Structure formats: C-alpha cells, structure tokens
Amino acid sequence: MPRLYLVRHGKPTVTWEDTESPDPGLDQIGNAQAAQLAVQMAPLGPLPIIVSPLRRARETAEPLETQCGTPADVDPAVGELQRPKDLALDHGAWLGEVLSSNYGALGPEFAVFRDRIVGRLLALEADAIVVTHFVAINAAVGAATGNDAVISFAPGHCSITVIDVGNGRLDLVMLGETASTTVAPG
C-alpha cells in the first residue's frame, strides 16, 4: 500500500491576494522551511518526488531532490486550483467564495480539479513525496474522509499530510501541522 507525503509548499514571497505575482517563489522563511523539510524527510530514504509546476512548489522540492538524489517529476495534475481568467471578481473575493463552499455547490470545473488531484494520487504505485498546495491537499483529505467541503483544514507551509493509497481509495493517516491563515472558510 503506497504511502504519500503531501507537502504544502514553503512560505512564498507574496500572499494569495496578490494578483500582480501569480507565480511567486519562496521568501527567506520559505527557503529555510524547505531546507528543514529535506532534513525531516531524510530518514524515509530516497523517495520519488512529484511536484506542482508552480515556482513556490518547485523551489520547495529542490532541497528534497538534493536529499533524495533524484529529480522531481513536475506534474500539473498536482497543481493548484486556478481562478478563471474571465471572472469579474478579484482573486481574493473569488477565492473567499470558493473556499467557503463545497464541491457539490460549485460548478463542474471544481469537480474536475478535485478529480484530477485524487486521480493522480490514486495512480501512484509506490511511496512518494508530493509537493503541492493548500487547496490540492484539502481535495485529497476531503476524498479520504468523505468531506465535500473545499476546505477541511489549514495546512501550514511545509506541513506534511500523510495518506495511504489502497483498494482504489485514499485513506488519511495524519493531517499535517495546521496554521492560522486568512485563506479559510468564512
């Protein structure tokens, strides 16, 4: 039964409300978090790494790649939920509405997002580290626990949520460390 370590990226240079920098890298704290994460994961031995294509996730994975001695597999299937480009709402208002909802109440593009994440995780056949994002981790946790809410917990930067894959389903082993965030249901 594969065990997956879902890692939220380290602290980025800008917040989720900043639409001027849609693909920020890590700030100084985020770089330190990523380095500490690699040390923390070292006892697990070298594991495959799957990473979102967004810069903050790729930069979080770099110390893990060095630690494991293997390049990460950059995979858009574990990327973050994207705001529709033609939407009139600003990013913060849109995200606030989405995060306070559940998948059943949102349009089909949200189910596609959730199914993409869950499908990719279910396809993994060996233990792996998956460096991804806040909403993506919540999609996996929701699938594992039968919770249809978009957000069920607030994973902190570089937190590790552990999920087992077996019998065509995700099973939650452990939630990652939580953090206070303004990205939460209202």
Domain 3-174, CATH number (from 1.50.10.20, 3.30.450.20, 3.40.50.1240, 3.30.470.20):
3.40.50.1240
Place of tokens 């069920």: 152
Reply yes or no on whether the pLDDT at 183 is more than 80. no
CB-based burial, 145-184: b 16+ in 10 Å, e otherwise = eebebbbbbbbbbbbbbebbbeeeebebeebbeebeeebe
- What pLDDT score was predicted for residue 184? 41
Q: What is the pTM of this model?
A: 0.91
pLDDT in tens, 92-118: 777 788 888 888 888 888 899 999 999
| Per-residue pLDDT band at 20 (split at 50, 70, 90) | low
Mean pLDDT value across the chain: 89
Reply yes or no on whether the pLDDT at 128 is more than 80. yes
Where are the chain's structural domains?
A: 3-174
- What pLDDT score was predicted for residue 98? 84
Query: Rg (Cα) of the chain, in Å, rounded?
Result: 15
